[in-house]
Structure 1
Amino acid sequence: MHEAEAGDVGEAAAPDAPRKTRKPYVWNPPPVPDWADLRAGGERRATFLRYWRTAGLKDLGDFAFHYAFRFMPIDLCSAIGAAMGRLAGRFGYKENAIRARANLRRIDPTLSEAEIEARVRSHFENVGRVMAEFSILHRLVKAGRITVENDGPALKWSKDGPLIFISCHTGNWEATGALMHAVGIDWSAIYTPPGRPAQHVIANRVRARFGVHLLPPGAPGIRPTIRLLQEGGTLSMFCDEVHHGRVMAPLFGRPAHVDGNLAIAVRFARMTGAKIIVGHCTRLKGARFHVHCSDPVDLPSHTDPDVPLIEDVKVLDAMLEPIIRKNCGQWYFLDNSFD
C-alpha cells in the first residue's frame, strides 16, 4: 500500500540531457465479479466462482484481519504483524529474501553476513507490522507513539504554500500522514492503488480518516495536481519507487534518469514555484516512530532555471540515499530488483 507514479509531466529536454522514456501510467481498477455474473451462468458464472475461490477469499481475509486488529492493544497488533512477516519471509518469499541480501550488499558493502541476515529479517518484520498497523494508525498520535523533528518548515510552507513533501517507504510511512493530520496540515497525495481490492478499500478509508485528499492515480492526476499546487496546496509524493518490479530510485550508483517520481516532483516544483521538503519515518521500537523533516531543499534550478532537470534529480537522490542506507532494514522496497 504505497504511493507512487504520478504519470507524465511534459517538459522539453536539452539536446544532451536524459529523456523520459517511460509511458504515462494509467490505472484501471481490477474487475470484481458480482451477483449478476453468478446469475448469468456460463463463463460469467465460472469467472465469479474462480474469483471467490481465490482472490475473493483473500479479500475477505484482509477485511477480517483489519477489523479484528482494530480492537487489539497497539503493541500486540504490531507484534502479530511482525510474526506474520517473519514467517512469510522465511517460508513464502524465499526469492525476495535472496534479492534483499543482494541489495544490502549493494546499498552498504561494509555489512557483515550476520548484519545482512538481521536486516533481511527486520525488513520482513517491518512489512508485516505496517500491514497490521493500518488497523490502529488512528490511535498512534493520541497514544504518544510518534515523535517529530524539525517540523517547523513543513508547518510554515503548508500554510504559505505551495509545498511538495517528498518521502520514502521506511518505518511506517503511513504514520507520517497521521502526524501531519494531527498538527493541522491539509494535504493531498499521489498514489498507486494496491493490487487487491480489499487492500485498496482499507488504505483509502484509513487515509480519508486523516483528511488525505487522494488524487486520481497515474496520468489523470496530473492536471489536478498542478491545479492544487497553483492554489497553494500541499502535495505528498513518495520518490523511492518501483516500476514493474525494478527500483527506480534511489539510484545507488546507477546512472541518473528522468523517468521517475524524483523528476516528476521537480517538474511540478518548476511549474508552480513549490518548495520541496524531504521527510521520512523510522521505526524506533515496536509501534513507536520518529518523523524527520528537512529544511526546504535548495535545488540548482532555484537560482538558475536553465539548469538541466537531471541535476535537480541528482540533488534529491543524494538526500534519499543516506536515509535508505541508514534504515535499509526498514525499507519496503528492499526485496525488489535494481537491474
Structure 2
Amino acid sequence: METERGVSWSQVYDTWRNHFYSLNDDKAKSAFNTFFDLQDFFSEKSPTLGMPLTLGISKKDGYCDVVMALHICEQLHDFFEKRFPDIPSPNLSDLTPETYEVLDRFECISAPMLNKYQTKAKKKNKAQAKLRNAKALKDLGHKLVRDKRNVFISIDIEAYEIDHSILLEIGWSMYDARTDKFLDQHYAIDSYKHLKNGKFVDDQKMRFGFGTTVWCSLKQAFKELRKDLDWAVERDGGFILVGHGLDSDIKYLKERKFLWPTAHKSETLEVEESAKIATLNTDIIYGASVNDMHNPPSLGRTLNILDIEHWNLHNAGLLDKIDWCDSSLNYRSFSVIGFSKLTIIG
C-alpha cells in the first residue's frame, strides 16, 4: 500500500483564503482570487499547469480527497510569492499534513480534470458513509436481538402486477424476543379473488404455510395489523420493523391511509413519527456484512448466498422460523425467513 504525506486541496484553499481575507486588504483578496481562479491556474503559461496531485484516503479518518504532497505545497507557496511579492503570504505551518493512502496519481491540466477527481472523492466518501451507517444498523440489530425485549415485525404486501393500486395480500410475522415465540398472519383481500399474478410476479397467494389464510376486506386486514402493533406498543413502548426492501410496503400503507400507533396513544400516517424503535433493512445489513453496498441482491438471491432454504417467496406469509448460528469466527445469524426476511449477519 503506497502512502504519502500531504495536504488536501480543500485545506490549502480554505487556509489560504482565510489568511488573505483576514488581512482586510482588497489587494490581498484580489491576489488570492486571481491566483486560485482555475482558468488562470491551469492556463498554458501558468507554472501550476500539470501540477502533480493525488487522489488519496486519509489514514486518520478515512476521508477521501484530492491531495498535494508537501513539496508541492512548498512550490505553490513559492509561485505565489514570485507573482505577488508585495502580498504577505501564509505560513506553511498553518497547514496540517496527514498521511494518505494513494488511490491514484494524476497531473492536473484543467479545471474539469480537477473537478472530475473531486467528484470521485465525493462519491467515495458518500459510499464510505453509507457503509458506516449500514454497519451501525447491523450492530444495532445485534443489540436489539440480544436485549430480548421487543417485538420484531416483518410486513409484506403483494400488489396486483398489472395495477399496483390494487392490493391482493397483506401478511406479517411477529417475533416476540421476550418469549421466543412467533405470531404469523396472512390476509387475502376478498374483493379481488378473481385477480391473480403470474405474468411478472409468481402467484403464491394460496401457499401460506404457517396458519390459515383469512379472506377479508383490506380495511379489516389493516385493523388486525393495527391490533398487533398496538399490543407491542402497549407492552414495550414500541416495535421493531424488519424487511428486505421495506420502502414499497410502507408506501402502500401510507397511500391507503394506514395509521401507525405512537408511544403517546395517538396515531400517524408517517411511520417515522410512530412508536417504531428501529427499521432493520436486511438488504442494507447484508451489504454491511460483505462490505459492499452496491446493488444489494434480492431476497431470493440473498437467501441463496446464505445457503438458507426457502420457497414461495411471493406469498405474503412466513416461510420458515428462526435460525441461530454460531461458529468459531463468532458468526451469528438471526433469521426470520418469509415475506420479508430478517437477517442480522455477523
The higher radius of gyration belongs to 2
TM-score scaled by structure 1?
A: 0.25
Larger relative contact order (Cα-Cα within 8 Å, sequence gap ≥ 6): 1
Higher helix proportion (structure 1 or 2): 1
TM-score scaled by structure 2?
A: 0.24
